[in-house]
Amino acid sequence: MSLWGGRFQDGSSAMFRRVNDSFPFDRVLASQDIRGSIVWSRAICKAGVLSKDEQQQLESALNALLVKADAGELDFDASTEEDIHSFVEATLIEQLGDVARKLHTGRSRNDQVATDFRLWCREHVDLLTQDLELVIRSLLNTAKANQEVILPGYTHLQRAQPVRYPHWCLAYVEMFKRDLSRLRDLKARLNQCPLGSGALAGTVYPIDRQEIAEQLGFASPCLNSLDAVSDRDYVLETLFAASTSMMHLSRMAEDLIFFNTGEAGFITLGDQVTSGSSLMPQKKNPDALELIRGKCGRVFGSLQAMLVTMKGLPLAYNKDMQEDKEGLFDAMTQWHICLCIASEVVDTIKLDAQRCAKAAREGYANATELADYLVGKGIPFRTAHDISGQVVLGALAQKKAIEELSLDELKKYSDLIEDDVYGILQLEYLVNKRCILGGTGAEPVAKALDAALAQFAVKA
Ligand code: ARG
């Protein structure tokens, strides 16, 4: 039986049920719904709606349901209920009869679903926080194990200046740290309790909303009942956090896919996280990384879908808002999977330090250094840039590196160039010269790595 049948003479059509029912997907809110109901039963008992005995009957039946829900043992398939809220209520009524018919006093599914969903989001924000830390730890481990490796840094996917491998790792650590802080920030905003807001206007029963909020672990109650039942900002914010983090993961995946190509050959990935070709026996494809990149589409799509769903909705609750769930459930699942597999992939990275260094040496990545050398001899940078560019052009014509040109050849471009130029053109030298805060020199990178290792408690 539906929760609202009294005013209706005809039953719902099968197609209406298909469009209207959320039970096929909101059943994952069972645990949150039951916990909310336990606290609600206490609140209406205090308000005089339930006797102590009635409340205890309800609480023990709800506790038994909670145990089953948490063990994944609720028999959803035998039910034809519309949503998880009616499922829990109907189950209780079946067990307890009239006492259970009192539970919904002063409550609406509107404040109920808003509460359940906030609880779900809060719990998943905590889970995703752990997943992000997992990836960060993997990056820190590979950084620590390969501190001396130097590889080309790119702009426009053209070799630009060499960087330390840990510097590359730490760039992504910074991004994931911001993802963590986004979760922290949004959790503070979502951590308000809608329960007690009723359908839209509050409830007539003298319930203690502060106490309800505390019992459900919220920082405070929502302050406006209209807003409480119709706000889905926390869904949008969570989807944005997921999307941004997926974008970070995808960029990391793209870098690694490139590092793993036969052409670059900087890294190899473990068999555990790659797959072969049914036709070409030699293939070992970075599928996990490609799927991280690919799954961004659906996560970004969910954010866009939710923005469009919410736009133009009048206050307060509208059924459109039921569309908030599937996108978020899916986005959080995909984000979780991608973070976990990203961590596994990073754990399998094997670097070819020689190939990295060779690539870093090629491509005239030391041309900036030559310009800076000339600046040191008193030449204005713009002129020095031009001279160094001409040296590159001349070296290209001879298919040589800058440092392979003789001093006589170099002096044709500027007679200020002396023998000491060969020292500054060396890979190690030019990397370590960037010892500014945030730079790729040995010292700042070691410091940054140590700080991150301490922050994320990675064992040495
Ligand atoms: N299944 C609904 C949802 O997810 C629950 C709230 C229903 N409220 C209502 N007034 N029909 O949004």
Report the CATH number that the domain containing residue 211 is assigned in CATH: 1.20.200.10
219 φ, ψ (degrees, to nearest 5): -70, -30
- Can you list the alpha helix ranges (DSSP code H) found in 146-208? 165-190
143 and 198 belong to one structural domain: yes
460 lies in a domain?
no
Q: What is the pLDDT of residue 460?
A: 52
115 and 153 belong to one structural domain: yes
For residue 404, the domain's CATH number is 1.10.40.30
- As a whole number of angstroms, the distance between CA 355 and CA 267 comes to 9
173 and 301 belong to one structural domain: yes
In 89-214, the DSSP E strands lie at 150-155, 158-164, 192-193
255 lies in a domain?
yes
The rounded Å distance from CA 332 to ligand 1 centre is: 21
Q: Are 32 and 116 in contact (CB under 8 A)?
A: yes
The rounded Å distance from CA 59 to ligand 1 centre is: 24
SS3 124: helix
342 and 232 belong to one structural domain: yes
212 lies in a domain?
yes
Residue in this structure with the two tokens 């067990």, named with its chain if needed: 95
- Catalytic site residues? 156, 277
The rounded Å distance from CA 82 to ligand 1 centre is: 9
Q: Which atom of ligand 1 is nearest to the CA of 321?
A: 12
173 lies in a domain?
yes
Which residue, of 83, 105, 127, is where some domain finishes? Answer: 105
CA distances from 130 to 9, 134, 451 (A): 51, 6, 19
189 and 309 belong to one structural domain: yes
Which residue, of 358, 388, 420, is where some domain finishes? Answer: 358
Q: Whose CA is nearest to atom 7 of ligand 1?
A: 109
pLDDT string in tens for the chain (460-residue length): 677 778 898 899 999 999 999 999 999 999 999 999 999 999 999 999 999 999 999 999 999 999 999 999 999 999 999 999 999 999 999 999 999 999 999 999 999 999 999 999 999 999 999 999 999 999 999 999 999 999 999 999 999 899 999 999 999 999 999 999 999 999 999 999 999 999 999 999 999 999 999 999 999 999 999 999 999 999 999 999 999 999 999 999 999 999 999 999 999 999 999 988 888 888 889 999 999 999 999 999 999 999 999 999 999 999 999 999 999 999 999 999 999 999 999 999 999 999 999 999 998 989 999 999 999 999 999 999 999 999 999 999 999 999 999 999 999 999 999 999 999 999 989 888 899 999 999 999 999 999 999 999 866 5
149 and 246 belong to one structural domain: yes
406 lies in a domain?
yes
The rounded Å distance from CA 55 to ligand 1 centre is: 25
Q: Which residues pair with 158 in a beta bridge?
A: 155
Around ligand 1, the residues with Cβ closer than 6 Å are 22, 26, 83, 109-110, 113, 317, 319, 321-322
Amino acid at 323: E
128 and 201 belong to one structural domain: yes
52 and 196 belong to one structural domain: no
Q: What is the dihedral of CA 173, 177, 179, 185, to 10 degrees?
A: 180
Instruction: Give the mutation target among 19, 20, 27, 83 for probing the ligand 1 site: most ligand atoms within 8 A of CB.
Output: 83
Residues 6+ apart with CB under 8 A from 336: 127, 128, 131
The rounded Å distance from CA 116 to ligand 1 centre is: 11
- As a whole number of angstroms, the distance between CA 444 and CA 448 comes to 6
Which tokens hold the place of 68?
Answer: 């089953």
451 and 309 belong to one structural domain: no
Q: How many domains does the chain have?
A: 3
304 and 377 belong to one structural domain: no
82 lies in a domain?
yes
For residue 33, the domain's CATH number is 1.10.275.10
187 and 309 belong to one structural domain: yes
CA distances from 208 to 118, 214, 322 (A): 19, 10, 28
Q: What is the pLDDT of residue 1?
A: 63
The rounded Å distance from CA 184 to ligand 1 centre is: 28
Q: What is the pLDDT of residue 74?
A: 96
Which residue, of 105, 126, 153, is where some domain finishes? Answer: 105
CA distances from 388 to 77, 160, 163, 214, 410 (A): 73, 14, 20, 67, 10
Q: Whose CA is nearest to atom 4 of ligand 1?
A: 322
Range of the domain at 448: 361-455
- As a whole number of angstroms, the distance between CA 388 and CA 57 comes to 84
CA distances from 65 to 7, 38, 45, 151, 376 (A): 30, 11, 20, 57, 76
231 and 289 belong to one structural domain: yes
Q: What is the pLDDT of residue 459?
A: 60
